[in-house]
Amino acid sequence: MSFLPERVELKTPEQILVMRRSGKLLHRVHEMLAERIRPGITTNQLDTLAHDMIRDAGATPNFLGYQGYPATLCISVNDVVVHGIPDDRPLQDGDIVSIDGGLIIEGWHSDAARTHVVGQPRSVADAELVRITREALWTGIAALASAERVGEIGAAIEDFVADAAGESLSHLEGFGGHGIGTAMHQPPDVMNYRTRSRGPKVRTGMCLAIEPMLIQGPGNWELEDDDWTVRATAGGRAAHGEHSVAVTEQGLLVLTEGDGGAAELALRGVVAAPDPLDDADG
């Protein structure tokens, strides 16, 4: 047993460029899926679409086969919070669908998640769940720009959710974000709420996957018999948002957003780093 801090992999600008290529492709996959989601389509069909697009681009899905996971995407519907396995049940109008996926280019990983409402939301509460989860994600990303320690990300997310939702939404406790690079999951842990640890110092070259997961009402959950599906047990629905983010000498680069995060960060008073793909073949 070691009590030494876990080593955080720091990336060079050249490595971040490859991760940006990985993240930009993943962004395009998510955009394609957003156009295809509709009542009647199955999550297996969405999974196949993503798998084919990733493979056709010469990349590798990093979820498929990870610790035995059987699909390219995690697709979590309604009260499934995360790690839902795609199946043949048709989606229905008003379903809340979280899609989490990732891929590898030249050994470098990307990871991102979005939550969608199929058709029209069933209630104002459902629409607010999706909106607040997305805003919580960008609040956490923006906090990284000025953070001294990784734990400040979770503190910012916790405070935002408390102000926006009071006690109507709960965090999925025990789950959070992570470092990302030559592996999909690396140190450090990036929690979505305060913990006893402030986390490691934020350093240039860090790449983090930030991913708030929120549940309507109490945050109780259970792991189903497939050892993957995490389901809320108090009747609430759930949402999940995630981006992979690089800390560069010139600022933050949201690797899995189309514009590198420039527009959303600007709304929060943060200037994004220049996109290295603008000066590369990409």
Cβ contact 239:130 at 8 Å: yes
Element (H, E) at 73: strand 73-77
User: In sequence order, what E strands does 106-168 have?
Assistant: 108-117
List the structure tokens of 199.
């986390």
Asked whether residue 83 is marked as a ligand-binding residue, the answer is yes
Q: Is 211 annotated as ligand-binding?
A: yes
Between CA 99 and CA 47 the distance in angstroms is 9
Nearest to 241 by CA among 174, 188, 171, 185: 171
Q: Which residues lie below 8 Å from residue 68, measured CB to CB, with a gap of 6+?
A: none
- Asked if 233 and 225 count as a contact pair (C-beta separation under 8 A), the reply is no
- Note whether 176 and 222 are within 8 A (CB): no
185 known ligand binder: yes
Helical (H) or strand (E) element with 214: strand 213-216
The token pair that represents 267 in the structure block? 């709304």
- Separation of alpha carbons 236 and 45, rounded Å: 26
- What is the Rg, in whole angstroms, of the alpha carbon atoms belonging to the chain? 18
Residue 31: both structure tokens together: 């955009």
CA dist 55 and 25 (Å) reads: 11
Binding-site residues for substrate, in ranges, read 83, 185
Binding-site residues for a divalent metal cation, in ranges, read 100, 111, 178, 211, 242
Binding-site residues, in ranges, read 83, 100, 111, 178, 185, 211, 242
